[in-house]
Amino acid sequence: MARKTVLVCDMCNKEVEDGKGATMRLTYTDARRGSKQADLCDGCSSGLPGQAVARRGRKPKSLA
């Protein structure tokens, strides 16, 4: 018997397609409060505040 995991957006309650969506994780500076995590669809994740973070690793040769 096969099972399928269905991912649902925590903001709009719509089903998220395979390969789409994002996971938002909040980590508090006070470690005692722990952290929270939310699954979001592409539409809800694009409307959230924040900045793009540079990817880790070496810079391409053309920029170095």
**pTM for the structure as a whole:** 0.65
Confidence grade of residue 9 (pLDDT, cut at 50, 70, 90): very high
Please tell me the distance from the alpha carbon of residue 12 to that of residue 33, in angstroms, as a whole number: 26
- Give the model's pLDDT for residue 64: 56
Q: Provide the number of structural domains found in the chain.
A: 1
In a domain, 19, yes or no: yes
Spatial separation of the C-alpha atoms in residues 10 and 15, rounded to whole Å:
10
Q: Would 53 be classed as within a structural domain?
A: no
Q: Token pair of 12, please? A: 């709009």
CB burial class (10 A; 0-12, 13-18, 19+) of residue 11?
Answer: middle
Span 10-54, pLDDT tens digits = 999 999 988 889 999 888 898 788 899 999 999 888 888 888 777
Q: What is the residue range of 40's domain? A: 7-46
Indicate whether 63 pLDDT > 70: no
Residue 57 lies in a domain: no
